[in-house]
Amino acid sequence: MRRPVAVRVVGPLQWILYPALVAVAATIVLATPAQLFGLTLPEPVVPMVLAFAWPLIRPSMTAPAVLFALGLFLDLFWNGPLGMWALCLMGVYGVLLLSRNLLAGHEGLIRFAWYVACTLGAFLFAYVIVTVRAGNPPAILSLIGQIVPTLLLYPVADWMLERFDDGDIRFR
């Protein structure tokens, strides 16, 4: 007689809603005006991790809507052009969704290279939008000060991919 196999169901609450709420909370916490030895806290684009991980975990219709809302939140929170970060995050999601089959089975350095390329592409696009809108390019050092902490968040994206990729055996 066969015993029933326990199926671990990972729903949208675990891999979409909770990480989105954590990204919002991390953005707010890192924006506090605290200084230590004259240095302020970094302000990475935390939802970039989600824009990278979600299409590789499982394509869904909910994830782009949540990413769009997170992008609008960033625009309103940082007082930027409305829709800029939403467009950048959706662009990263779209690129990874289209290249999902190329990344299947790759780990480590290949995924990190894609994360770097997508992050730099999104920041370049945001840089161009801000430059055209303001008529004056933003400071490069400030831009690098936001890119580097965003790139350092790759281990979180890698953890999400390892944690949720095989989370539901019904999709194997």
Domains of the chain: 12-167 (1.10.1760)
pTM of the model: 0.88
C-alpha–C-alpha distance, residues 157 and 50, integer Å: 7
The residues, ordered by sequence, that sit 6+ positions from 41 with a Cβ below 8 Å of its Cβ are 30, 31, 32, 34
d(CA 19, CA 80): 23
**With 0-12 CB in 10 A as exposed, 13-18 as middle and 19+ as buried, what is 146?**
middle
CA-based diameter of the chain, in Å? 73
Average of per-residue pLDDT across 104-109: 82
pLDDT at 172: 46
Judged against a pLDDT cut of 90, whether residue 15 lies above it is answered with no
pLDDT digits 0-9 by tens, 34-91: 888 888 889 999 999 999 999 998 888 999 999 999 999 999 999 999 999 999 999 9
Cα 23 from Cα 5, distance rounded (Å): 34
**Which residues, including other chains, have CB under 8 Å from residue 64's CB and lie 6 or more apart?**
90, 93
Would you state the pLDDT for residue 140?
94
According to DSSP, residue 127 is labeled: H
Q: Tens digits of per-residue pLDDT, 111-164? A: 999 999 999 999 999 999 999 999 999 999 999 999 999 999 999 999 998 887
